[in-house]
């Protein structure tokens, strides 16, 4: 019997040369027996790996690795062996059973309980930390492989303890899968057990999969967090920020830059940490083999680090320029696609393609520079590595000849140096990726860290106690008194041009005031300041005697509503567009009531899906008049105290304008209203008219008062009336030529329109 009696109570391990079947059985069970039962063997392993085996942390980590290794070896053996083939029958033998006592950290075999106890143990609160430690230990263990290859070389010349070497190789072959150890084992050991561990590679694949899973999950979580923080920061910036930064640039940061950051950093950190841990372990073993050769090897490190530093700084700058160029290209595409109807109407598809191609070519030229720099970096590192290998071989040969170093240790050292070179190469690749991610992250973190100039929320204020919110001011106490006091303002994108110059006026609660004047005079700027989109250079904008900047952002915009010339609707249902900004608490009844006030309920109910009808991107599924009435409903659903109408009907035809004006007129009672309009039919009914020209208030009064003053307002009215006269005259002549017999004299038409100038303003209340 080649190995003597196969007893489970005692293990007789003497290499024999007969009975191959018994040898195979022994090889299958020996590693499990040794690790589980041979305490001296485990202590020898512990002393070999741990500098101080008595330390509690190191001892626990070592026991943890042994437990996982036992589970692996047991599962392998069960997969291939029939327990009944053992003399003990596989039931009463301590080698074939595994149990985990509740009050003990020692692991014993029990075929019925192994999986459950392992699962219960892994789900402990420290399981995540333990898993990380285990993955690190497994990576470090790979550094031991070359040491045992050198040990094999020694054993080929000196007959040492074959049992000890065989067990060491068997254990570590279960962990390593990427080195040349499999070939060595299969060639010199020829054991089925070792071949099984190496060829199947179960544990290495599990470990690799766990590591990949951890980093993939981390990559997904990092990507979500970065995008959330970036979008959250950008959406809270002041309006002036968006005046200077293009939408395509922001979109590129949210998509391209964050993807480069998260994917590159996470995947490269996986490679970096693995090679860093492995490299440290290799250096330790290299010093153990020969400190002289190790010092020679480390001489090249400062040179490589210096080259890497210069390369990294330059490559990072290039990576930042690439992302800027891609952002510019993205802006070109976004601009063209958002205005595709204009592109199509002017047949400028080729022009837009040329612009996009030119933008991409700028990025390509920077990519060429990156490729050249990378090639030079790789050439330098490879040259240093080659020279270092030659130096180590020369000096190592000298040490062997002088009997300072054994041949086996030199083989191990050379293998370690080769693996260390691979680690450095992979870290170099990672370094390039990290520099690319660093370049992409510059703008991302610039936006994330940017503080808005105009603070919008209570948490952003330096003096939070001065912020007025719903808890301090009840809605019925906001009367709607608006005051502009000596306001001077310039847009952040044009800081040298003042669009408002020392402007002062007052809107009393419940008063309807119209702002008129030539285009570019500063009318819309007054609306922007009242909405607190910007801060004035000098002066104050007050609401009920309080500066608007002291009101909480959300509270302020429940009391002030704006209807613009081109209302923006979102690709959502009509109900969601009307209730925009109110959250999910708004009811369908409230939405319908607001739609009724805006004369929108009837046409909505005529649609197939009624209030759940999709408005389309930018409201393209609705007509201009329908969109405007939806916008009015969106403003009225908040029950605002102040209503701002900025050219709300100027883009509509006469019929749509009439319907929209009706919706506006019947909802002005009890509200302070500021109207910006050019059409006389809209302006003449205001309680008071303020004329603004070139950033200054030049006239103020009612419609009739301003006509009698015969100033700027009177000339604007006269010009509009003459234009309307000419249009009607041309229409009358056209009708006469058609033979319709329209008997209207041009003189009578002129008198009819001029008579409107003498009509005093009528109240809307």
Query: What phi and psi, each to the nearest 5 degrees, are found at residue 674?
Result: -120, 120
* pLDDT confidence of residue 160: 46
Put simply, whether the predicted model's pTM sits higher than 0.75 gets the answer no
The first and second tokens of residue 267, run together, are 């995947």
Conformation bin of residue 300: beta by default, left when phi > 0, alpha when psi is -120 to 50: alpha
Q: Would you place residue 363 in the very low, low, confident or very high pLDDT band (cuts 50, 70, 90)? A: confident
pLDDT tens for each residue of 124-134 = 444 445 555 55
Q: Which comes out higher in pLDDT, residue 609 or 458? A: 609
Q: Using CA atoms, how far apart are residues 238 and 456, in angstroms rounded to an integer?
A: 8
Residue 500 CA to its chain's centroid (Å): 40
| Max avg pLDDT among 116-120, 453-457, 550-554 | 550-554
Cα→Cα distances 560→480, 609, 628, Å: 9, 31, 18
Q: Would you place residue 84 in the very low, low, confident or very high pLDDT band (cuts 50, 70, 90)? A: very low
Do 626 and 652 touch, CB atoms closer than 8 A?
no
Longest Cα–Cα distance in the chain: 133
- Dihedral of CA 420/425/431/433: which sign? negative
pLDDT tens for each residue of 707-744 = 888 888 888 888 777 665 555 455 445 545 544 444 44
Do 597 and 633 touch, CB atoms closer than 8 A?
yes
pLDDT tens for each residue of 153-197 = 555 444 445 555 455 544 444 444 444 444 444 444 444 444 444
Residue 541 DSSP code? E
Contacts of 104 (CB under 8 A, 6+ apart): none
Q: Identify the three-state secondary structure at position 646.
A: strand
pLDDT tens for each residue of 254-289 = 887 887 777 776 667 767 777 888 888 888 888 888
What integer is the mean pLDDT of 198-202? 46
Do 93 and 74 touch, CB atoms closer than 8 A?
no
pLDDT tens for each residue of 466-511 = 445 544 444 447 888 999 999 999 988 888 888 999 999 999 988 8
Domain regions of the chain by residue span: 20-200, 204-449, 475-701, 705-765
Q: Using CA atoms, how far apart are residues 54 and 61, in angstroms rounded to an integer?
A: 12
Do 110 and 98 touch, CB atoms closer than 8 A?
yes
At the topology level, CATH places domain 204-449 in ABC transporter transmembrane region fold (1.20.1560)
CATH architecture, range 475-701: 3-Layer(aba) Sandwich (3.40)
* pLDDT confidence of residue 44: 64
| Max avg pLDDT among 36-45, 136-145, 198-207, 317-326 | 317-326
Q: Using CA atoms, how far apart are residues 440 and 447, in angstroms rounded to an integer?
A: 12
Share of the chain above pLDDT 70, in %: 62
The first and second tokens of residue 500, run together, are 């408002």
Nearest to 98 by CA among 32, 12, 166, 20: 32
Q: Using CA atoms, how far apart are residues 149 and 145, in angstroms rounded to an integer?
A: 6
* pLDDT confidence of residue 245: 82
């Amino acid at each position: 019997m080649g190995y003597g009696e196969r007893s489970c109570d005692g293990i007789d391990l003497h290499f024999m040369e007969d009975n191959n079947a018994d040898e195979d059985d022994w090889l299958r069970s020996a590693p499990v027996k040794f690790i589980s039962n041979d305490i001296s063997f485990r202590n020898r392993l512990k002393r070999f790996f741990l500098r101080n085996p008595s330390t509690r942390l190191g001892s626990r980590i070592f026991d943890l690795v042994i437990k996982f290794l036992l589970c692996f070896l047991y599962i392998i053996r069960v997969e291939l062996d029939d327990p009944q083939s053992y003399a003990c029958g596989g039931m009463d033998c301590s080698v074939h059973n595994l149990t985990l006592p509740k009050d003990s950290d020692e692991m014993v075999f029990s075929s019925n309980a192994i999986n459950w106890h392992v699962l219960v143990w892994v789900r402990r609160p420290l399981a995540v930390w333990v898993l990380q430690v285990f993955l690190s230990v497994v990576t470090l263990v790979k550094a031991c492989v070359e040491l045992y290859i050198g040990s094999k070389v020694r054993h080929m010349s000196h007959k040492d303890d074959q049992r000890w070497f065989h067990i060491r190789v068997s254990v570590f072959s279960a962990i390593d899968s990427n080195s040349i150890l499999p070939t060595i084992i299969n060639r010199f050991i020829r054991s089925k057990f070792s071949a099984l561990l190496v060829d199947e590679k179960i544990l290495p694949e599990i470990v690799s999969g766990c590591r990949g899973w951890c980093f993939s999950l981390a990559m997904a979580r990092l990507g979500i967090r970065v995008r959330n923080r970036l979008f959250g920061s950008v959406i809270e910036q002041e309006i002036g920020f968006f005046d200077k930064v293009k939408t395509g640039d922001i979109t590129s940061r949210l998509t391209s830059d964050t993807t480069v950051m998260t994917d590159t950093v996470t995947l490269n950190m996986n490679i970096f940490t693995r090679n860093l841990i492995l490299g440290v372990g290799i250096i330790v073993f290299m010093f153990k083999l020969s400190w002289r050769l190790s010092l020679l090897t480390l001489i090249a490190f400062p040179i490589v680090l210096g080259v890497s530093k210069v390369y990294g700084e330059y490559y990072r700058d290039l990576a930042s320029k690439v992302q800027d160029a891609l952002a510019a290209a993205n802006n070109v595409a976004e601009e063209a696609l958002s205005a595709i109807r204009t592109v199509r109407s002017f047949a400028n598809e080729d022009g837009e393609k040329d612009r996009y191609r030119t933008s991409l070519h700028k990025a390509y030229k920077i990519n060429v520079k990156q490729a050249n720099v990378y090639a030079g970096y790789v050439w330098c590192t490879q040259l240093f590595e080659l020279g270092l290998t030659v130096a180590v071989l020369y000096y190592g040969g000298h040490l062997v000849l002088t009997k300072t170093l054994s041949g086996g240790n030199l083989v191990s050292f050379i293998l370690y140096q080769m693996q260390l070179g691979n680690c450095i190469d992979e870290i170099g690749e990672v370094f390039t990726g990290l520099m690319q991610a660093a370049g992409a992250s510059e703008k991302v973190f610039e936006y994330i860290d940017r503080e808005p100039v105009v603070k919008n929320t209570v948490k952003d204020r330096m003096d939070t106690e001065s912020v007025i919110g719903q808890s301090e001011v009840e809605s019925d106490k906001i009367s709607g008194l608006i005051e502009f006091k000596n306001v001077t303002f310039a847009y952040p994108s044009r800081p040298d041009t003042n669009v408002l110059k020392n402007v002062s006026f007052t809107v009393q609660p419940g008063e309807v005031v119209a702002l008129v004047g030539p285009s570019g005079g500063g009318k819309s700027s007054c609306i922007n300041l009242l909405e607190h989109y910007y801060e004035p250079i000098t002066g104050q904008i007050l609401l009920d005697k309080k500066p608007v900047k002291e009101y909480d952002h959300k509270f302020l915009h429940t009391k002030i509503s704006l209807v613009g010339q081109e209302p923006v609707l979102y690709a959502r249902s009509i109900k969601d567009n009307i209730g925009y900004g109110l959250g999910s608490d708004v009811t369908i009844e409230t939405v319908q009531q607001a739609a009724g006030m805006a004369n929108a309920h009837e046409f909505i109910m005529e649609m197939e899906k009624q209030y759940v009808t999709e408005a389309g991107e930018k409201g393209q599924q609705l007509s201009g008049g329908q969109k405007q009435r939806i916008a009015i409903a969106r403003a009225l659903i908040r029950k605002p105290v102040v209503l701002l109408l900025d050219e709300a009907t100027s883009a509509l035809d006469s019929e749509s304008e009439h319907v929209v004006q009706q919706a506006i007129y019947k909802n002005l009672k009890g509200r302070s209203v500021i109207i910006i309009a050019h059409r006389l039919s809209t302006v003449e009914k205001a309680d008071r008219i303020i004329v603004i020209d070139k950033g200054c208030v030049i006239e103020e009064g009612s419609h009739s008062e301003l006509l009698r003053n015969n100033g700027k307002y009177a000339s604007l009215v006269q010009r509009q009336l003459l234009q309307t006269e000419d249009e009607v005259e041309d229409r009358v002549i056209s009708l006469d030529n058609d033979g319709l017999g329209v008997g209207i004299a041009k003189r009578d038409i002129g008198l009819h329109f001029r008579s409107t100038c003498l009509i005093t303003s009528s109240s809307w209340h």
